[in-house]
């Protein structure tokens, strides 16, 4: 890297529309979606590959609503390590089209049973997501993606236990209050013991993919006055119409600027003024925080670090009776969101 900035991870929303209506999510409410066809999706991927991206995470909206998802993932996997995040409703049905083109699959679960259904706005969404996880886990390394809100704090530990029972991994986000969604970010005092507990579970070998340092960084920043240094330039985000979202997808609520294929990304990355965002600390999204903690000095070991690390972790991980000690893990483009 030696002073030169370039994105390593990419997140791409394939659409905004969704079959669920989560309280804390701004995306299904948007009316400005422009859907691209496969040829333009390939243009995006080629531009990202030129920019130096190694890992591409597909998301949305609900990516499994796209009829061409299998073709998009096949093209993606020919160029990058890939992940996809889904609400799981259509997962069992679409699995044969997607599994072979993914290195990691994230399925969102925001609590157990009724808690999840209430947050997601649709009855039976918990059962559908768990059914999808059961179907998927033998075909592709599968990870529960759990967003902590003020309405599901009490379920965090039960979600860890569910991940252990299902023998899948778990990634944890803290809800961010987007202007165009319901403000469900947890109260700081109520969140504190949950973060500490998740960190301790991580240290004792629970299948949580974030590092203990990720939880320590949140604790240091929000409760100890010790900010972490955000490096949003490690991740590039692309909206459904192919535009780059700068500086991160959080601050401008996924407002894109120029189409990525019209931009010299490396030049933009090295002229954009990133400094004001280093001390931002507004969000605790793992897709930005966790890579920011890592010293990215040797990109040649990226695959080993990101994909193989996660897959090995999942293989070693969740046996409830004998929790292994986890290694360090860098999460990928979750989802962004
Ligand atoms: C926007 S969704 C898109 C993919 C898919 N529809 C799903 O729900 O997994 C990606 C992730 O963003 C999370 N998310 C939604 N609203 C959020 C918020 N306000 N703060 C942090 N994460 C959020 C969801 O829980 C989900 O895990
Ligand atoms: S979080 Fe995912 S499932 Fe929920 S409304 Fe947003 S895009 Fe849809
Ligand atoms: S802390 Fe979060 S919101 Fe702030 S610049 Fe970094 S990624 Fe964006």
pLDDT digits (tens, 9 = 90+) for 214-223: 999 999 999 9
Kindly report which listed range (84-93, 155-164, 175-184, 317-326) carries the lowest average pLDDT score.
317-326
Q: Is the CB of residue 290 below 6 angstroms from any atom belonging to ligand 1?
A: no
The DSSP secondary structure of 9-70, one letter per residue, reads EEEEES-S--SS--TT-SGGG--------HHHHHHHHHHHHHHT--EEEEESS-GGG-TTHH
pLDDT of res. 288: 86
Cα distance between residue 160 and residue 149, in whole Å: 15
In sequence order, the 6+-apart residues with CB closer than 8 A to the CB of 191 are 148, 153, 174, 222
The pLDDT-based confidence of 337 (bands split at 50, 70, 90) is: very low
Helix (H) or strand (E) holding 314: helix 309-316
In this predicted structure, what is the pLDDT of residue 324?
33
Q: In the chain, what percentage of residues exceed pLDDT 70? A: 86
Q: Answer yes or no: is the C-beta of 151 below 6 A from any ligand 1 atom.
A: no
Our mutation pick for probing the ligand 2 site, out of 22, 58, 84, 106, counting the most ligand atoms within 8 A of Cβ, is 22
Average predicted confidence (pLDDT) for the chain: 88
Question: For atom 4 of ligand 2, which residue has the closest CA?
Answer: 22
Beta bridge partners of 58: 12, 84
Atom of ligand 1 nearest to the CA of 184: 19
Q: Is 28 in the pocket of ligand 2 (CB under 6 A)?
A: yes
pTM of the model: 0.91
91 Cβ inside 6 Å of ligand 1: no
* Ligand 1 centre distance from Cα of residue 271 (Å): 31
For residue 230, give the ligand 3 atom closest to its CA. Answer: 6
Atom 1 (ligand 3) nearest CA: 281
pLDDT interval class at 304 (50, 70, 90): low
Q: How far is CA 311 from CA 143, 207, 303, in A?
A: 10, 11, 11
pLDDT the model gives residue 310: 61
- Per-residue model confidence as pLDDT tens digits over 82-119: 999 999 999 999 999 999 999 999 999 999 999 999 99
pLDDT at 326: 32
Residue 2, pLDDT > 70, answer no
SS3 278: coil
The answer to whether the CB of 195 falls within 8 A of the CB of 218 is: yes
Closest residue to atom 6 of ligand 2, CA basis? 25
Domain residues of the chain, as ranges?
Answer: 9-314
Asked whether the predicted pLDDT for residue 180 surpasses 50, the reply is yes
- Distance between Cα 191 and ligand 3 center (Å): 19
Q: What is 9-314's CATH topology?
A: TIM Barrel (3.20.20)
pLDDT tens per residue, range 139-169: 999 999 999 999 999 999 999 999 999 999 9
More reliable by pLDDT, 304 or 204: 204
Q: Tell me which ligand sits closest to the C-alpha of residue 184.
A: 1
The residue count of the chain comes to 337
Q: Is the pLDDT of residue 243 over 90?
A: yes
Q: In which band, very low, low, confident or very high, does the pLDDT at 294 lie, cut at 50, 70 and 90?
A: confident
Q: How far is the CA of 254 from the centre of ligand 1 (A)?
A: 13
Is pLDDT larger for residue 334 or for residue 287? 287
Residue nearest to atom 2 of ligand 3 (CA): 283
Whether pLDDT at 325 is above 90: no
pLDDT digits (tens, 9 = 90+) for 19-76: 999 999 999 999 888 999 999 999 999 999 999 999 999 999 999 999 999 999 999 9
Q: What mean pLDDT comes out for the span 8-20?
A: 96
Per-residue model confidence (pLDDT) at position 194: 97
In the predicted structure, residue 308 carries a pLDDT above the cut 60: no
Ligand 3 atom, smallest distance to 251 CA: 3
């Amino acid at each position: 890297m030696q002073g030169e900035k370039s994105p390593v991870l990419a997140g791409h929303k394939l659409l905004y529309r969704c079959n669920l209506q989560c309280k804390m999510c701004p995306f299904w409410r948007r009316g400005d979606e422009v859907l691209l066809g496969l040829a333009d999706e390939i243009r995006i991927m080629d531009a990202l590959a030129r920019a130096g991206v190694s890992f591409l995470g597909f998301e949305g909206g609900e990516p499994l609503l796209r009829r061409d998802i299998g073709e998009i993932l096949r093209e993606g996997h020919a160029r990058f390590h890939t992940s996809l995040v889904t609400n799981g409703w259509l997962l069992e049905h679409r699995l044969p089209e997607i599994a072979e083109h993914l290195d990691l699959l994230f399925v969102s679960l925001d609590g157990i049973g009724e808690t999840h259904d209430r947050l997601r706005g649709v009855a039976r969404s918990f059962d559908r997501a768990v059914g999808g996880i059961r179907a998927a886990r033998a075909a592709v390394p599968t990870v529960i993606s759990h967003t902590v809100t003020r309405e599901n704090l009490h379920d965090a530990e039960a979600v860890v236990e569910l991940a252990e029972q299902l023998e899948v991994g778990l990634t944890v986000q803290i809800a961010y209050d987007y202007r165009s969604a319901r403000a469900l970010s947890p109260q700081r005092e109520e969140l504190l013991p949950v973060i500490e507990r998740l960190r301790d579970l991580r240290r004792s070998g629970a299948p949580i993919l974030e590092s203990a340092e990720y939880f320590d960084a949140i604790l240091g920043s929000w409760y100890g006055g010790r900010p972490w240094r955000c490096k949003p330039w490690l991740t590039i985000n692309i909206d459904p119409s192919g535009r780059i979202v700068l500086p991160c997808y959080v601050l401008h609520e996924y407002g894109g600027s120029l189409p990525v294929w019209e931009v010299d990304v490396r030049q933009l990355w090295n002229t954009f003024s990133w400094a004001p965002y280093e001390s931002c600390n507004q969000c605790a999204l793992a897709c930005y925080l966790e890579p920011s903690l890592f010293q990215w000095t040797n990109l040649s070991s990226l695959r080993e670090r990101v994909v193989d690390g996660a897959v090995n972790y999942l293989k070693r991980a969740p046996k409830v009776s004998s929790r292994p000690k986890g290694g360090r893990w860098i999460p990928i483009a979750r989802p962004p969101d």
